[in-house]
Structure 1
């Protein structure tokens, strides 16, 4: 293992829509607002089908392509947010679930192409089909940056006992790696298998490091012990900072049950959302609703 060395919408954004296996032409959608201080889902600027798989934006020289991994529409169940309560869910019209996704992002920054997370790796996962639609094979991927080690983020690294990305350099938080390696076998089995399979190409970074592509590593602990957010220019890749945007953007004090350290997760969520607002950043999130960009 090798160790390596951080809302307004005032900047220009060029949105290009691509579809993988969608069949019909994209249908027009009305504004899809999220109730939180002028943050809104960027899908209000393009037409997207419910089964859309790809969407690309370019801002300040950084090209970001969202690749949807989940095969069917995804709703986060209200039970995932027990502190919200039934009254709040009804007030926000979320009692039937919160629109979400399992997403990955392919970023081109400073001449470097990087895949952020790898989805579930399920039999119906769309990541590889999405890459194929872009003319990219798994062997073409040279850099993979991981936000954390939950199965819906590292599952795509492996197919059975074989690596999926034979030439990829894997970058992950040292704090995340160390914490998962100390867990009992019934919790960390998938992590251990994946990290061992890529051990000769595994790089462990510290918060504050700058990675290839001038991508800056930001501490985002709480969801997991080494949960990481990445900044590439005006883009902030937030991993699992948010699971239910329609709820948590307005109420960042509410956690999903997946958050390992509730108080740290709340603190991190509030701080990074404020940072994004103050710096005019576009957010890319692995569980944001289609197409998983928020401005």
Structure 2
């Protein structure tokens, strides 16, 4: 039973008076039952007033970046290579007012945290990795593909085929790790238009200074696989392994390619860099990005890819859509769309 408030006040007063009188007379303080009770009440009150908690340092890290999705008899694993900050208003090409309005509507500013996603396709017979991430070429916030691949239950040595959507740095840098081929048993496949363009030293010499690094990264990443007899080029729409085919999406780069995965009536299309800023480009497919080699072709790819995905309802996977980058496309109005992320599933 809790003592009434007046009783507690009287106990505190009695204890204080006893202590003061003994201190004034120079005597020794002899605790009485009342003073001990009062002291105990003070301690009890202090304990309730100031709760004691152990220090809990901030963890400041995320769970391993992988997410699985079934497509027919196949299993797709989205793998995060990390993220970095994209200066959207500087890089996006379109009506500046409309771009700014779309960003604000989605609670975004000039700098956007942009995901870097790769996708592993397990057909049951083959392990096919789509894009290799940035490796060590874009700083510490990217280059996490290998660790997330291992966390997902696979080893780099198990990858049979590695298909590149294109040869930009953030898709090829992860081909190498510590000066060795990161995927020693994989055949790397890429569209011939991209190898012809990005692996050309003549093109590199003719490129503006700020673009030379793209050529250097492509050459450094691809050449070791070429020397090992592990590079295979294809042209146009091509069946690669059963259930996986290449589909041209030229514009972002000369040979930019999407990969269509189908099993038992289910379908997913892995877009590569069809979309860079989902908050802007789905609403306005005419918006391109400064990195697009041919902006007119890239815009046509946006319109065709969005329309086909919306009409047929299949899942798409985007390299730069917020991780895991998996969702569907809904048509809203004439040439305007909404991206609908897949619902989370525990398994």
Equivalent residue pairs, number: 248
User: Which residue in 2 is equivalent to 1:214?
Assistant: 243
Length-normalised TM-score, structure 2: 0.66
Structure 1 residue 91 displacement after superposition? 4.5
Structure 1 stretches of 4+ with a deviation exceeding 6 A read: none
User: Which residue in 2 is equivalent to 1:8?
Assistant: none
Contact 2:176–2:182 (Cα < 8 Å) also in 1: yes
Cα deviation, 1:204-245, whole Å, max 9, x if unaligned, reads 111111001421111101000000001001110000010001
* In structure 1, distance between residues paired with 2:149 and 2:253: 28
Cα deviation, 1:251-294, whole Å, max 9, x if unaligned, reads 11000111110001001111112122222211101100122112
* In structure 2, distance between residues paired with 1:245 and 1:99: 12
* In structure 1, distance between residues paired with 2:65 and 2:159: 19
* In structure 2, distance between residues paired with 1:50 and 1:73: 15
User: Which residue in 1 is equivalent to 2:204?
Assistant: 184
Structure 1 residue 105 displacement after superposition? 0.8
Cα deviation, 1:162-198, whole Å, max 9, x if unaligned, reads 2111111111001111122332153522222222200
Q: Tell me if 1:279 matches 2:279.
A: no
User: Which residue in 2 is equivalent to 1:119?
Assistant: 133
* In structure 1, distance between residues paired with 2:85 and 2:316: 19
Cα deviation, 1:87-125, whole Å, max 9, x if unaligned, reads 542354133444530111111135321111011102642
* In structure 2, distance between residues paired with 1:253 and 1:87: 11
Larger gyration radius, structure 1 or structure 2: 2
**More moved, 187-196 vs 267-276:** 187-196
Compute the RMSD of aligned alpha carbons.
2.2
Cα deviation, 1:101-158, whole Å, max 9, x if unaligned, reads 0111111135321111011102642111111112222111111000000000000001
What does residue range 259-274 of structure 1 map to in structure 2 within 5 Å? 259-274=292-307
Q: Tell me if 1:102 matches 2:116.
A: yes
Structure 1 pair 248–260 and aligned structure 2 pair: CA distance change class (3 A) = same
Which of the numbers 214, 225, 241 marks the counterpart of 1:198?
A: 225
User: Which residue in 1 is equivalent to 2:68?
Assistant: 56
Length-normalised TM-score, structure 1: 0.78
SS at match of 1:184: helix
User: Which residue in 1 is equivalent to 2:339?
Assistant: none
Q: Tell me if 1:141 matches 2:159.
A: yes
List runs of 5+ in structure 1 lacking aligned partners. Answer: 1-22, 25-48
User: Which residue in 1 is equivalent to 2:9?
Assistant: none
* In structure 1, distance between residues paired with 2:66 and 2:151: 9
SS at match of 2:69: strand
Higher helix share: 2
Which of the numbers 176, 181, 185 marks the counterpart of 1:167?
A: 185
Contact 1:51–1:73 (Cα < 8 Å) also in 2: no
Structure 1 residue 52 displacement after superposition? 5.7
Contact 2:247–2:257 (Cα < 8 Å) also in 1: yes
List runs of 5+ in structure 2 lacking aligned partners. Answer: 1-58, 206-211, 329-347
